[in-house]
Amino acid sequence: MGDAAGFINPLTGGGIHNALISATLAAETVDDALRRGDVSRQSLRIYEQRCDEAMWSGMRRSFFYQRFLLNYPTLVDWLIRFLGRHGGVAKTFVSKL
């Protein structure tokens, strides 16, 4: 599977979604390299760029939210209770992270 250990969501602690993205990107990168007949380190470095493009902005946003929310534990408690009572809102909220 993908490289979940390197792509853990800082806010949720989840990694499965990012692991699937990184696995897909890894497979595409290897497939492209094999078709070109170039599996050099330089050729495979595009994987890092693809991961950055696909996931970096979301990871940065989650890290910002995590750091912000650490300063407001009462808000986090309220938010968890609210989202627990409103499943549809919770699903929408989490999908935006």
Encode pLDDT of 45-68 as tens digits.
999 999 999 988 888 888 888 888
Around Cβ 51, how many Cβ atoms within 10 Å?
A: 21
Overall pTM surpassing 0.85 (yes/no)? no
Which domain range does residue 38 map to? 4-95
Q: What is the pLDDT of residue 49?
A: 94
Choice between 64 and 84, residue whose per-residue pLDDT is larger: 64
Q: Where are the alpha helices (DSSP H) in the chain?
A: 16-36, 41-44, 46-69, 73-85, 87-95
- How many domains does one find in the chain? 1
Token pair in block for residue 55: 């996931």
Categorize the per-residue pLDDT at 13 as very low, low, confident or very high, splitting at 50, 70 and 90: confident
Q: What is the pLDDT of residue 1?
A: 46
Tell me which DSSP letter residue 4 carries. G
Query: Phi/psi zone of residue 13: left (φ > 0), alpha (ψ -120 to 50 degrees), beta?
Result: left
Region 58-84: mean pLDDT is: 86
Residue 91 corresponds to which amino acid?
K
